[in-house]
Structure 1
Amino acid sequence: MNTLSSSDWLTAVLIAVTAGLVKGMVGFALPLIMISGLSSFLDPRLALAGILMSVLATNGWQVTRQGLTPAREAAERHWRYLLIVMVAIFLTAQLVTIIPRRAFYLILGVPVVGLSLMQLRGVRLHVPPERRAAAEWGIGLVSGVLGGLAGTWGPMTVLYLMAIDTPRARQMVVQGVIYGAGAVVLFLAHLRSGILNAETFWFSAALLPAALIGMSLGFKLQDRMDQALFRKVTLIVLIVAGINLIRRGIFG
């Protein structure tokens, strides 16, 4: 880390601000933006460590922004999803140094782009109430595996919440609770895996203020959106995130 140039630091800070801005607007995509941006010029392990403090803190802010009662209700409503995501993240994070991740990027990226494009064209995905328990186990497992291996478990979570017609305010809280719980597990898992250590911790901490500044600006933009605009912007961010996952799956 002591070999990073001033231009490397400036680039890393700008990436963190951008990731925080998008996170504040739509409630997700900070890990996707940071990990893809940082890993384009840093060692992938340092890039992964670099996102951990920002992921943890921004999700904590998102959870508590509307108070603790909505957060508790979200946790009770989606406890299955929370449980499987946390277990899958912890288990798969231990394999991050030995399992190639490119196949997982493709497996997630292709359906995310396809499903998001369908919804932008007016096709509404819907999970009926009687199938939601099974959907939470299955989608939560996929999200957790990607979270452990690549530090991102957002896209499938967002698609699921949109498929059950979650209102904007509740969606932001639910995403914050799910991502926040996963972020705690991811942080602890990478303390165990060695990705986060005495050196990389300070790099991760140095990027946190930039991510928080970006998120503050994003919250202001989100507060001006109605439900329809929020849904459209969310789908566009999903498409961009999915294309980036496909790119990483093909080119590494």
Structure 2
Amino acid sequence: MFDVFTICIILATFLLAGAVKGVTGLGLPTVSLAILAVAIDMPTAMALLLIPSVVTNLWQAFIGERTKEALLRIWPFLLMATVMVWLGGLLLSQVDLALLSMLLGGLLIAYSVVNLAGFGFTLSRQQEVWAGPLLGALNGILTGMTGSFVIPGVMYLQAIGLTRDVLIQAMGMLFTASTIALAVSLQGNDLLSAELGMYSALALIPAIIGMVLGQKVRKRLSEQLFKRLLFASLLLLGAYIIMSAVTR
């Protein structure tokens, strides 16, 4: 299905994406999609990220001491983010993905610039009641259409004031549930095959290596530096998504 050069690109992409995820807690799907979409088509790239994303996110979500705290806080958001992926999958073949990618890239850039400039927003516990399900539904639709789990999910998790460790685990839960729902959606739309599953399993190896290396780096970071790297990563990812969409 893929030539040797393309396989090397896939492996290198997941090594880099795993390292970014290890440092910031996110980025594996977005980095891998942004790079692979240049070499292969978007639905195929989405299929390739499934196994690396599920395994690394399960690891991130449940290896820690704040699992119960995170789950109790975000379950309404998480539920809607999962069940609405199917709707995005139905729209996948009916929407101009280049325009949607540029929109997502623009949102990532705007959100990153606002936070890097110190103008981040917060949501109260009362606002979480309605904002969680609403933003979760939007996140699920965009996940089904683009394979990106970040917008507006990470914005929401950041806005409700989670500490670094809880935020990392909460993002892992969101990304795990979204990946599983995405796999079901792709299978239902005949965009997932056994051969793609084999390549996705192969991509898990460099993804784990990269994640372990990234986690070692993260342990040396202060809370403030971690946040700066998080938003700087989102800014770069947004810019890359837009450039990829424009040049596609």
> TM-score w.r.t. structure 1 length?
0.91
With over 3 angstroms needed to count, the CA separation of the structure-2 counterparts of 1:133 and 1:108, relative to structure 1, is farther
Q: Which amino acid aligns with 1:60?
A: L
Greater shift after overlay, 108-117 or 13-22?
108-117
Question: Secondary structure of the residue that 2:60 maps to in structure 1?
Answer: helix
Q: Which residue of 1 aligns with 2:176?
A: 180
Unpaired runs of 5+ residues, structure 1, are none
What is the Cα deviation at residue 251 of structure 1?
A: 4.0
Are 2:67 and 2:166, in contact at CA under 8 Å, matched by a contact in 1?
no
Q: Partners in 2 of 1:159 and 1:76 — Cα distance?
A: 18
Q: Partners in 1 of 2:64 and 2:11 — Cα distance?
A: 28
Are 2:58 and 2:172, in contact at CA under 8 Å, matched by a contact in 1?
yes
Match of 1:85 among 58, 81, 87: 81
Question: Secondary structure of the residue that 1:98 maps to in structure 2?
Answer: coil
Question: Secondary structure of the residue that 1:124 maps to in structure 2?
Answer: coil
Q: Which residue of 2 aligns with 1:119?
A: 115
Q: Which residue of 2 aligns with 1:107?
A: 103
Are 2:38 and 2:244, in contact at CA under 8 Å, matched by a contact in 1?
no
Q: Which residue of 2 aligns with 1:200?
A: 196
What is the Cα deviation at residue 137 of structure 1?
A: 2.3
Alignment deviations for residues 98-144 of structure 1 (CA, whole Å, 9 cap, x no partner)? 33223322333223212211221222322222212222123222211
With over 3 angstroms needed to count, the CA separation of the structure-2 counterparts of 1:124 and 1:80, relative to structure 1, is same
Query: How well do the aligned residues superpose, as a CA RMSD in angstroms?
Result: 1.7
Q: Which residue of 2 aligns with 1:26?
A: 24
Are 2:16 and 2:210, in contact at CA under 8 Å, matched by a contact in 1?
yes
> TM-score w.r.t. structure 2 length?
0.93
Match of 2:135 among 129, 136, 139: 139
What is the Cα deviation at residue 249 of structure 1?
A: 4.4
Matches of residues 200-239 of structure 1 in structure 2 within 5 Å? 200-239=196-235
Give the percent of matched residue pairs that are identical in Structure 1 and Structure 2. Answer: 27
Are 2:101 and 2:245, in contact at CA under 8 Å, matched by a contact in 1?
yes
Are 2:69 and 2:166, in contact at CA under 8 Å, matched by a contact in 1?
no
Greater shift after overlay, 105-114 or 76-85?
105-114
Q: Which residue of 2 aligns with 1:55?
A: 53
Are 2:37 and 2:244, in contact at CA under 8 Å, matched by a contact in 1?
no
Question: Secondary structure of the residue that 2:84 maps to in structure 1?
Answer: helix
Q: Which amino acid aligns with 1:206?
A: L
Question: Secondary structure of the residue that 1:40 maps to in structure 2?
Answer: helix
Q: Which residue of 1 aligns with 2:126?
A: 130
What is the Cα deviation at residue 248 of structure 1?
A: 4.1
Are 1:19 and 1:34, in contact at CA under 8 Å, matched by a contact in 2?
yes
What is the Cα deviation at residue 190 of structure 1?
A: 1.6
Q: Which residue of 2 aligns with 1:38?
A: 36
Are 2:122 and 2:160, in contact at CA under 8 Å, matched by a contact in 1?
yes
Aligned residues: 248
Question: Secondary structure of the residue that 1:7 maps to in structure 2?
Answer: helix
Q: Partners in 1 of 2:204 and 2:100 — Cα distance?
A: 27
Q: Partners in 2 of 1:182 and 1:45 — Cα distance?
A: 15
Question: Secondary structure of the residue that 2:194 maps to in structure 1?
Answer: coil
Q: Which amino acid aligns with 1:246?
A: I
Q: Which amino acid aligns with 2:189?
A: S
Are 1:155 and 1:238, in contact at CA under 8 Å, matched by a contact in 2?
no
What is the Cα deviation at residue 213 of structure 1?
A: 0.8
Are 2:18 and 2:207, in contact at CA under 8 Å, matched by a contact in 1?
yes
Alignment deviations for residues 67-103 of structure 1 (CA, whole Å, 9 cap, x no partner)? 5xx3233222111111111111122223323332233
What is the Cα deviation at residue 14 of structure 1?
A: 0.6
With over 3 angstroms needed to count, the CA separation of the structure-2 counterparts of 1:183 and 1:194, relative to structure 1, is same
